[in-house]
Structure 1
């Protein structure tokens, strides 16, 4: 099938220029591991694809990526292979569930971009092709807040914070928001409460963290919604199938579908203006270090 990934490979191979503007880059983060961030990233990507959007999901947790585990597939090449100089960028793209494109994080590389400026430039040039090929590029970020990770997150401008209502998870989420906001002031933050027992309590937990963010960081954060604890999500993980595929009518799938609608509405509401592109912002941050 002549799909999005095939088109990209052909254009890269033939050095054909791209005319389209960058797609929407969304970083999905948490303050800590274990809150379901990667699962939300995967299933959100599938629901965007359902809305006729072209989607690339990139597992940015190099060294501890788990998107391949969630779908029960072994990816032949990963971002670790690219940064280690073993593969080109276009060789990384694989077809995932429901026709989304995916790039796996892989393992064996602890310092993602501890590279010289020429190699960083080459990476950014390759990435610029990717961004002009999709409507949405979802970055499933690792739990850490290294300089490189913060650079990616703050360059994306659109950041979804996934957390649970428990105080330690919320405090970690606040810490991540604070670090990103200190690096870049115009990031648009939104939040998903995951694995909640009560929707009203989840909203109240969000309101508390939102008040703290507004008071101490002078930022507004948008509430995208909550996903109730659902045994079918655990079952989907065990069977290595996205939960929106396992049971599209399950409560977790339905709630994430509502969140997807809210996200699309919010993206449409936020004005883009003449702000700098993801690549411009990322290039400035990565190459101005030191």
Structure 2
């Protein structure tokens, strides 16, 4: 088993190094920018946005890892139209090596599915935590971006991961419950880390009035009540063809790249990439923070 794992890891590293040589990506010594995409409630289109956002980063010749953190109930593989043999759930249960869970969608985008059919609540043991830390540490050295598609809502473990990443993107819709839950999520994040960069995407917008009611309302509330500046990345209009894309199991930016919503997603990605990004902590702060959170909780 150890020989098999070593061979799988070697093939993965060789493939990534080859991709970097071909695309002229950033230095191997710099670490990936880690991003958590969250929502206060389910059903707001977060996973669809995560998948297409990761694809847009890949189209800009960035090496991207997309990880479905909705373990046991994940569906990024469905939107990508693939059926991976192993998932993050399998790795956490000790039924697969991490290298076996990594799937290549194209030359620049890899992903790990969350898995489906979770029968019991996943127990985050000390051993599970240590194995995840090792995995994330390796990934930071081999990718430009690591995108975590978080499950809806907040749990102790998701909050700890969110607390460690470089950036958090919050997805909301014009529904009052979505706005309220998005604000609650952002408030909780800021209370735990006032310096955490927060970005807002409004999905399923019908018109400019709704855009103002959601994005700017959230931005105003954060600034007025929590003294926290946030970035509005953009808005995605309501489009019936999104359902068509999901049924076709095809990312909407690939199915209809010239659609208005696809162009809006492209602009959102460009806005995010254009935001100044400078690590204010030591390069390994993501792993250090994550270890601190998990180890504290396991005592």
Answer yes or no: same fold by TM over 0.5.
Answer: yes
- The alpha carbon displacement at 1:64 in A equals 1.1
2:35 matches 1:8: no
Moved more, 213-222 or 44-53: 213-222
The one of 39, 45, 48 equivalent to 2:54 is 45
Correspondences of 1:93-132 after superposition (within 5 Å): 93-96=102-105, 99-107=108-116, 108=118, 111-112=121-122, 114-116=124-126, 118-132=127-141
2-structure distance, mates of 1:204, 1:168? 13
1-structure distance, mates of 2:230, 2:266? 20
1-structure distance, mates of 2:268, 2:10? 27
- What is the match of residue 220 of structure 1? 229
2-structure distance, mates of 1:148, 1:177? 16
- The alpha carbon displacement at 1:22 in A equals 1.9
- What is the match of residue 175 of structure 2? 166
Relative distance call for 1:10 and 1:233 in structure 2 (3 A) is closer
- What is the match of residue 65 of structure 1? 74
Relative distance call for 1:5 and 1:210 in structure 2 (3 A) is farther
2-structure distance, mates of 1:194, 1:81? 32
- What is the match of residue 278 of structure 2? 271
Give the 3-state SS of the residue equivalent to 1:58 in structure 2: strand
- What is the match of residue 23 of structure 1? 32
- The alpha carbon displacement at 1:119 in A equals 3.7
- The alpha carbon displacement at 1:238 in A equals 1.2
The one of 284, 287, 290 equivalent to 2:292 is 284
- What is the match of residue 14 of structure 1? none
Cα offsets for 1:78-134 (capped at 9, x unmatched): 011111011121211001256410100013265445202x44223211221011111
Relative distance call for 1:6 and 1:226 in structure 2 (3 A) is farther
Deviation beyond 3 Å, 4+ runs, structure 1: 4-7, 109-113
Cα offsets for 1:113-167 (capped at 9, x unmatched): 5202x44223211221011111011100000311110011111030000111222
Give the 3-state SS of the residue equivalent to 1:159 in structure 2: strand
- The alpha carbon displacement at 1:30 in A equals 0.6
- What is the match of residue 22 of structure 2? none
The one of 164, 172, 175 equivalent to 1:155 is 164
| 5+ long unaligned stretches in structure 2 | 1-8, 17-26
- What is the match of residue 248 of structure 2? 239
| 5+ long unaligned stretches in structure 1 | 12-17
Answer whether contact 1:62 1:109 (CA < 8 A) is retained: no
2:63 matches 1:54: yes
- The alpha carbon displacement at 1:35 in A equals 0.6
Moved more, 63-72 or 119-128: 119-128
- The alpha carbon displacement at 1:190 in A equals 0.2
Cα offsets for 1:146-201 (capped at 9, x unmatched): 11100111110300001112221110101111222222232110000011101343
2:219 matches 1:210: yes
